[in-house]
């Protein structure tokens, strides 16, 4: 059987992930993501109303025109998890394919909300829920399997397409977490089994985000302990404490909520995306928040809550807000600019349970936000965080477990691929033979 890979998006930079695998007559698409930084750099762009081709020209969504070169039928569109760089282009591209969108329950719910917000296209694809550990027949000779992985968002999987020529394992995005705060540990046992079954692993496509960082990525339970240490150290402070983190990082939000309660403060989630992700996770029973946890997204209800906090005493609350990257319109940035009823005082604490995404725009905005907060007297606690992506030893362990015949580095720029290429070559792979460094819009023929 012929197996080929179309590397559509995410092979020149992080963002707008999209890869298609053709096995015989069947094609499966993995991810359809958005490169948000290409959108945010323009003022007042509303992607909801934009046409796909304009977004492709901006570099915001994958240029899927290469799909016309694949001779087969698309049988499934499979987003691996709910981050925007993996699902953000579904509302712009999925309607071009007569295929269901297959994902885990939390991811499907986020896809559903995204399609609802779309104003230009009517996306009618079936939404099919599939849990980690489950399989689905693809055409007559192929099978799709979801293997449970751990990442900075819940319900993440690595999809595997089993073909008669061997398994194609799509490895975006994960870290190796054996003690996650929510959900099951990464299923390394299953990855090792897949390597030993039938034809073994034909191809492994890997997320190189942190390939250049030595050692291993710590577990979420390490970030949780770090957070606990910080929060215990300021337990007796009788002024304002504010925290921010990735709104999609439900495990982190859960830790913040629990430690706020331990400190005797009422946690409250503020900001549209805080309400969206945490509300969805709670509705689907991934997390059990206290009954009195308030979640407010709309500007009016947020301002009302801030007024209540000022009236009842800042020392009784812990607002958990958006704005960890210094995004100009996010809550924490507005607080820094003095645009909310919440007044910061000398010595008040601001906890960043996030790392700045190393990109000049983010770094500049975050710098500005921290300066503004500092000018109002706030003390900053930075980097209370662990990454959701594998580092060098995690990459070594994955290659060692899977023993793939071919390896394709993804989810990075050419420069970002370099440390991964070094590692893979040290393990016996060779660029141009079985290690395929590629760009967006290419085809890689694995078997004939």
Which of 24/79 has CB closer to Zn ion?
79
Q: How far is the CB of 126 from Zn ion (least distance, A)?
A: 24
Q: How far is the CB of 158 from Zn ion (least distance, A)?
A: 12
Residue 174 sits in the site that holds Zn ion (CB under 5 A): no
Binding annotation for Zn(2+) = 81, 83, 85-86, 151, 173, 411
Which of 368/387 has CB closer to Zn ion?
387
Q: How far is the CB of 83 from Zn ion (least distance, A)?
A: 4
Residue 220 sits in the site that holds Zn ion (CB under 5 A): no
Residue 252 sits in the site that holds Zn ion (CB under 5 A): no
Yes or no: say if 281 and 246 are a contact pair by the CB < 8 Å rule: no
Which of 150/333 has CB closer to Zn ion?
150
Which of 63/173 has CB closer to Zn ion?
173
Q: How far is the CB of 278 from Zn ion (least distance, A)?
A: 18
For 299, phi and psi rounded to 5 degrees?
Answer: -50, -45
Q: How far is the CB of 85 from Zn ion (least distance, A)?
A: 7
Structure token pair of residue 355: 């790392």
Cα dist. 11→32, 206, 391 in Å?
A: 13, 11, 18
Task: Tell me which residues in 65-94 interact with Zn ion (CB under 5 A).
Answer: 83
Binding annotation for substrate = 385-389
Residue 16 sits in the site that holds Zn ion (CB under 5 A): no
Q: How far is the CB of 14 from Zn ion (least distance, A)?
A: 9
d(CA 415, CA 109): 35
Yes or no: say if 228 and 412 are a contact pair by the CB < 8 Å rule: no
Residue 391 sits in the site that holds Zn ion (CB under 5 A): no
Number of chain positions touching Zn ion (CB under 5 A)? 2
Which of 83/314 has CB closer to Zn ion?
83
Residue 327 sits in the site that holds Zn ion (CB under 5 A): no
Q: 387-402: string of b/e by CB count within 10 Å (b at 16+)?
A: bbbbbbebbbebbebb
Residue 4 sits in the site that holds Zn ion (CB under 5 A): no
Q: How far is the CB of 149 from Zn ion (least distance, A)?
A: 10
d(CA 223, CA 229): 10
Which of 91/152 has CB closer to Zn ion?
152
| 3-state DSSP assignment of residue 295 | strand
Binding annotation = 81, 83, 85-86, 151, 173, 385-389, 411
d(CA 148, CA 62): 26
Beta-ladder partners of 144? 136, 161
Residue 155 sits in the site that holds Zn ion (CB under 5 A): no
Burial of 311 (0-12, 13-18, 19+ CB in 10 A): exposed
Structure token pair of residue 311: 């009236």
Q: Which helix (H) or strand (E) holds 424?
A: helix 414-426
Residue 173 sits in the site that holds Zn ion (CB under 5 A): yes
Which of 155/348 has CB closer to Zn ion?
155
Sheet with 142-148: list strands edge to edge.
135-138, 142-148, 157-163, 166-171, 201-207, 406-410
Residue 31 sits in the site that holds Zn ion (CB under 5 A): no
Residues contributing to the site for Zn ion (CB under 5 A): 83, 173
């Amino acid at each position: 059987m012929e197996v080929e890979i179309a590397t559509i998006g995410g092979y020149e930079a992080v963002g707008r992930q999209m890869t298609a695998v053709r096995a015989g007559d069947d094609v499966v698409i993995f991810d359809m993501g958005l490169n948000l930084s290409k959108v945010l750099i323009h003022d007042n762009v509303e992607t909801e109303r934009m046409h796909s081709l304009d977004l492709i020209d901006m570099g915001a969504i994958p240029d899927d025109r290469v799909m016309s070169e694949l001779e087969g039928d698309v049988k499934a569109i499979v987003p691996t998890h709910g981050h925007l760089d993996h699902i953000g282009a579904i509302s712009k591209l999925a309607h071009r394919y007569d295929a269901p969108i297959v994902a885990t329950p939390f991811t499907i719910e986020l896809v559903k909300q995204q399609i609802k917000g779309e104003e230009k296209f009517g996306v009618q694809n079936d939404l099919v829920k599939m849990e980690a550990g489950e399989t689905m027949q693809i055409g007559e000779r192929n099978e799709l399997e979801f293997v449970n992985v751990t990442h900075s968002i819940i319900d993440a999987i690595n999809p595997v397409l089993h073909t008669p020529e061997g398994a194609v394992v799509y490895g975006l995005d994960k870290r190796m977490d054996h003690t996650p705060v929510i959900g099951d540990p990464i299923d390394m046992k299953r990855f090792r089994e897949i390597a030993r079954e039938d034809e073994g692993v034909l191809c492994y496509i890997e997320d190189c985000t942190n390939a250049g960082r030595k050692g291993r990525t710590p577990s979420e339970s390490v970030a949780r302990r770090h957070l606990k240490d910080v929060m215990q150290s300021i337990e007796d402070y009788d002024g304002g404490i504010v925290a921010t983190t990735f709104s999609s990082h439900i495990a982190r939000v859960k830790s913040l909520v629990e430690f706020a309660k331990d400190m005797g403060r009422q946690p409250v989630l503020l900001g549209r995306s805080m309400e969206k992700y945490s509300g969805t996770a709670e509705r689907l029973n991934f997390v059990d928040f206290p009954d009195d946890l308030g979640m407010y997204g709309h500007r009016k209800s947020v301002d009302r809550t801030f007024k209540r906090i000022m009236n009842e005493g800042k020392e009784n609350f812990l607002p958990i807000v958006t704005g960890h990257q210094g995004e100009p319109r996010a809550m924490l940035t507005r607080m820094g600019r003095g645009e909310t009823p919440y007044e910061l005082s000398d010595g008040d604490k601001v906890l960043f349970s996030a790392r700045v995404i190393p990109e000049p725009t983010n770094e500049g905005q975050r710098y500005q936000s921290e300066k503004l907060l500092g000018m109002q007297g706030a003390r900053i606690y930075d980097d209370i965080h662990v990454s959701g992506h594998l580092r060098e030893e995690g990459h070594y362990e994955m290659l060692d477990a899977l023993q793939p015949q071919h390896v394709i580095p993804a989810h990075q720029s050419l420069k970002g691929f370099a440390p991964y290429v070094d590692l893979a070559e040290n393990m016996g792979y060779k660029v141009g033979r079985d290690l395929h460094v590629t760009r967006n819009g290419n085809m890689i023929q694995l078997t004939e």
